[in-house]
Amino acid sequence: MEVPPLVVDRGAPEPLAVQVASGLRAAAARGVLAAGARLPSTRELARLLGTSRTVTAAAYDQLLAEGWVAARRGVGTFVVGLPAAPRGGERVVRGAGGPGRPRGAGGEEVLGGAAGEDLLDLRAGAPCTEALDRTAWRRAWRAAGGRPPDHLPDPRGDGAFRAAVAEHLLRHRGLPAGPDDVTATTGTSAAVAEVAALLPRGARVAVEDPGYRRSTGALRAAGLVPVPVPVDDDGLVVDAVPPGVAAVVCTPAHQFPTGGRLPVARRAQLVARARAEGLLVLEDDYDGELRYDVAPLPLLASLGPDVVVHLGTTSKTVSPTLGAGWLVAPEELRHRLLAARTEVGARPPRAGQRVLAELAASGDLARHLRRLRRELVARRALVLAAVEAAGHRAQGGAAGAHVVVPLPSREEEEDVVARARSASVALGGLAESCLASDRAGVVVGWAAPRRSDLERGLERLVAALRPT
């Protein structure tokens, strides 16, 4: 039951019932009372407000007549929509399915089903939640909830989670790490921010260009200076990393967003430079578990455990809902990171970690990963065929859940993104990921939509990609 804050003023000229009705209407318009919320009974609300029940019953009658609340006999009165015509100045927060396109903190449109019924969301970065077996998901949350609460403020994270991650790293990424080598994080971007805070303020840090802008944002927020380094079809051009940087942030398994896989020789070269020049390498392995017909390459962390911080996340393989990621760092850095957490009492929340541990323990995680790969392979084939049908060649599709379609100019990129947008297809342009480079193209992802929507909607992608 939801009781929004309501004030009734007996001295005001408006009748009390009108005041109660407008208070509830305003609460719904502000989103305080969302669709599905149950209102208190007229008796309960009268008691809370110190009015007679006649007042609250009259207010409810008015709202029922307006149609955005509904009474279910014997159950209660529920919000079923949004009140019509909010008065001037009231901000309407639209729920799922509303015509507005919700935006995230970074100004980007929020991923997921809330952006309009027909929207085919082909932006990179979302997980494939359709592949997640809901029964397994519920079972894991139930099992996690069955574990008694405790008060151990372990800044390293949950022990069962760290053990599950160690097993996962060995099995899927070939990295021999024990549970004590694993530190829980709340995700990769947050982990970049934590590591960045340990570097001297003002230090220069090499980042891939194009690259993941959240990493660049985390570095800037920590007072560091990102230095763009070009990438080619194979990923980071290690030779182009300038001398004097304190760290390098990179995505060797699947360069984001251009998709290159850093060859072994460049990996070895990067680790050798890190050792010789005393720089730290952050290996963002955001979708390293997802690979198609290509052999795995050794992680930077296995080539240089003394100079590499390996960062993993459940955001792409399971769901960002978990807020669970991990890092494996050189010992001295790990101690500094844990000391910094302890200093301020920060610790990654353990609920999502426990759910992942349960998914791993039951075998559901392994089943899910197999199923996810099968699903993504099938979707990838559909997208590659669509890109080809439009007369283009996709790049960077050996891993992950997106490709880049290079275009001759930024104008063309903007045109394609706009044409797609007007056909309700959401695409990212390369411009979003560029710092100094001026590459042009669009990034096409296939994890977010439902498979059936993807199958039905790809024609619209083909049309948007076709030269006019």
Ligand X SMILES: Cc1ncc(COP(=O)(O)O)c(C=O)c1O
Contacting positions for ligand X (CB under 6 A): 125, 187-189, 212, 251, 256, 284, 286, 313, 315, 320, 325
Say if CB 404 and CB 442 are below 8 A apart. Answer: yes
Contacts of 260 (CB under 8 A, 6+ apart): 231, 232, 233, 234, 235, 254, 396
Write down the least CB distance from residue 272 to ligand X, Å. Answer: 24
Please say which residue, 189 or 258, places its beta carbon nearer to ligand X: 189
Tokens 């791993």 locate to 360
Q: Which two tokens stand for residue 356?
A: 């992942």
Q: How many residues does the chain have?
A: 468
Write down the least CB distance from residue 187 to ligand X, Å. Answer: 3
- Partners of residue 90 on adjacent β-strands: none
Write down the least CB distance from residue 290 to ligand X, Å. Answer: 12
Write down the least CB distance from residue 184 to ligand X, Å. Answer: 12
Nearest-angstrom CA–CA distance, 394 and 258? 10
Please say which residue, 60 or 212, places its beta carbon nearer to ligand X: 212
Write down the least CB distance from residue 287 to ligand X, Å. Answer: 7
Please say which residue, 63 or 227, places its beta carbon nearer to ligand X: 227
Please say which residue, 214 or 419, places its beta carbon nearer to ligand X: 214
Nearest-angstrom CA–CA distance, 183 and 348? 10
Write down the least CB distance from residue 248 to ligand X, Å. Answer: 14
Maximum pairwise Cα distance, the chain: 81
Between CA 256 and CA 222, with CA 326 as vertex, the angle to 5 degrees is 70
Write down the least CB distance from residue 373 to ligand X, Å. Answer: 18
Please say which residue, 60 or 137, places its beta carbon nearer to ligand X: 137
Write down the least CB distance from residue 31 to ligand X, Å. Answer: 25
Helices 159-173 and 364-389 cross at an angle (nearest 10°) of 50
Nearest-angstrom CA–CA distance, 160 and 237? 38
Q: 369 by DSSP, 3-state: which?
A: helix
Query: Among 31, 30, 7, 38, which residue's Cα sits nearest to residue 20?
Result: 7
Please say which residue, 334 or 402, places its beta carbon nearer to ligand X: 402
Q: Which two tokens stand for residue 412?
A: 């063309």
Please say which residue, 37 or 196, places its beta carbon nearer to ligand X: 196
Residue number closest to ligand X, CB atom: 187
Please say which residue, 260 or 325, places its beta carbon nearer to ligand X: 325
Nearest-angstrom CA–CA distance, 130 and 307? 38
